[in-house]
Amino acid sequence: MAAPTLTRTPTSSAEPRTAGGGDQRRRRCRIRENLTAYAFLGAGLLCFAVFSWSPIVRGLLLGFQQVSFAQPATWVGWENYRRLFDDPLFLTAWKNTGYFTLLALVFGFAAPFVTAVVLNEFRHARAYLRMTVYLPVMLPPIVTMLLWRWFYDPGPGLFNNVLKLLHLPGQQWLESENLAMLSLVLVSTWANMGTTTLIYLAALGSIPGELYEAAELDGASIRRRLWHVTIPQLRFILMITLLLQIIGTMQVFIEPYVMTGGGPDDATVTVLLLLYRYAFVYNDFGLASAMSTVLFLVLGLFAGIYLRLTRGKG
């Protein structure tokens, strides 16, 4: 990722050419240039050091400490991890999160792809369709959640009224153990598919038309062209969005926090919701940090794959 740039700027052109200062002078100049450069970089470095790099180290250490606001932190070894694995909710949270991620992939991966392929064929209403699919992305997530909570309401809620119109039985969307997680995935897909759709559309637009023409001359049907031209051409971007989506959905928080609070009967307690409870409800920062480390290791696996894939591209 951190590919150094190839364009070189002359670094010491301000140096007077006639003066015979020699090495010492050049070195002094180089030091001054570095000082200027670091003066510009300083504030950014400080922000990263305080709010990004040191918390990474601190997070790892906190997992082995007992932390309270009153006393200094004490070292407790693997105690937090032992308590973590003893908590029956830990396993539940991982199962629920895995289920959410799986469902979100089924919907969130298929829907934007199909949408983008279809939208790319249209010669009319393009701007309108692009805009509407992205509208939910621009809503503050809390508004989306409150809005859908109202839609899911079994009484005056929109969904059960639509079902009633179709003479179908109403559902206990968020109150039923079976449906609650699916309901959260639906909101999440609705809210986020605009981003992925637009990314796919950009990628589809850059597929060379000759590939389709050549396939057509070979007598390939539309379905075969989709399979042998479109999908291979999008393979890289499909892999990337797949991985980013796994990483993103495994950190699901606001959906269960606002819509179900983890219920019914812990059916929607996710990893991040449990982490939030450990830290900010029970004030057990050590336990929460142990949880963070586990989450970090699991997501690090996917991040590693992402890095391998993107290396050398771009």
Query: Which 274-293 residues touch other proteins, going by CB under 8 A?
Result: 275-276, 279-280, 285, 288-289, 292-293
Which is closer to other proteins, CB of 213 or CB of 265? Answer: 213
Question: Which stretch in 18-26, 84-92, 93-101, 132-140 sits in contact with other proteins by CB under 8 A?
Answer: 132-140
Instruction: Choose, by CB under 8 A, the member of 16, 77, 88, 140 that binds other proteins.
Output: 140
Contact (CB, 8 A) for 299 and 250: yes
- Residue 66's DSSP bridge partners are 74
**Contact between residue 236 and residue 203 where contact means Cβ atoms under 8 Å apart:** no
Work out how close the CB of 189 gets to other proteins at its nearest, in angstroms, rounded to a whole number: 11
- Counting contacts by CB under 8 A, is residue 198 touching other proteins? yes
* Region 19-48 residues binding other proteins, contact defined as CB under 8 A: 33-34, 36-38, 40-41, 43-45, 47-48
Q: Is 242 in the site for other proteins (CB under 8 A)?
A: no
How many angstroms from the chain centroid is the CA of residue 244? 5
**Contact set for other proteins, span 170-189 (CB under 8 A):** none
Helix ranges (H only) for the chain are: 22-48, 54-62, 79-86, 88-121, 126-138, 141-152, 158-165, 180-205, 209-217, 222-225, 231-249, 254-259, 271-276, 285-310
Backbone phi and psi for residue 66, each to the nearest 5 degrees, phi listed first: -100, 125
| Residue among 1, 33, 2 at smallest CA distance from 15 | 33
Interface positions, 66-125, toward other proteins (CB under 8 A): 67, 69, 117-122, 124-125
Least Å distance, CB 261 to other proteins, is: 12
The letter for the amino acid at 169 is P
Nearest approach in angstroms of CB 33 to other proteins is 7
